[in-house]
């Protein structure tokens, strides 16, 4: 039996960063994503976000790819949001996403960071957050 522990921090935004994910809607979407992920064998350790984006800490399985996981989460959730008319306009996620592997020694801080998204974004804009992530992980421009 294989023993695998691959932890990935993912971030994705709404199309054109439209702030669809206001308080109640965000809570409903997160709850639905958790339920859907569980049904599809995707282990979401933590998930939270703000008006125009979500963060998730995902523990990947041995045969999963990050693009497959993100497609399942984003595709199904946008379908569900539109089917249930949670937004007045058609809801879409941006095509791209951010994903970086996380070491075990980073877990506690990342979990706190994800849980604290609402307070965090009272101080730091999404644009600044993206710049910080790009710099910290030496990435090319992400989440345009």
Residue 1: inside a domain, yes or no?
A: no
pLDDT digits (tens, 9 = 90+) for 23-69: 899 999 999 999 999 999 999 999 999 999 999 999 998 899 999 99
Q: Which domain holds residue 124?
A: 6-137
Judge whether 143 lies within some domain: no
Residue 120 lies in a domain: yes
CATH of the domain at 15: 3.30.70.1290
What is the pTM assigned to this prediction? 0.91
Question: Per residue in 101-141, pLDDT tens?
Answer: 999 999 999 999 999 999 999 998 888 988 888 888 777 65
Q: Is the pLDDT of residue 87 over 90?
A: yes
Structural domain contains residue 142? no
Query: Does any domain span residue 82?
Result: yes
Q: Is the pLDDT at 142 greater than 80, yes or no?
A: no
Longest dimension (CA), the chain: 48
- Mapped onto helix, strand or coil, the DSSP state of residue 47 is strand
What angle is formed at CA 45 by the lines to CA 40 and CA 47, rounded to 5 degrees?
90
Number of domains the chain is built from: 1
The edge-to-edge listing of strands for the beta sheet with 43-50 is: 43-50, 53-60, 6-13, 98-102
């Amino acid at each position: 039996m294989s023993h695998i522990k691959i932890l990935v921090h993912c971030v994705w935004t709404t199309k054109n960063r439209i702030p669809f994910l206001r308080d109640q809607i965000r809570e409903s979407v997160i709850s639905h994503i958790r339920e859907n992920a569980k049904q599809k064998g995707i282990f979401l350790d933590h998930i939270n976000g703000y008006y125009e984006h979500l963060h998730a800490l995902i523990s990947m399985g041995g045969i999963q790819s990050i693009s497959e996981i993100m497609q399942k989460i984003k595709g199904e959730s946008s379908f569900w949001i539109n089917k249930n008319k949670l937004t007045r306009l058609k809801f879409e996620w941006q095509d791209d996403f951010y994903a970086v592997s996380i070491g075990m020694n980073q877990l506690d801080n990342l979990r706190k960071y994800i849980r604290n998204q609402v307070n965090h974004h009272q101080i730091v804009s999404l644009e600044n957050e993206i710049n910080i992530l790009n710099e910290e992980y030496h990435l090319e421009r992400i989440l345009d």
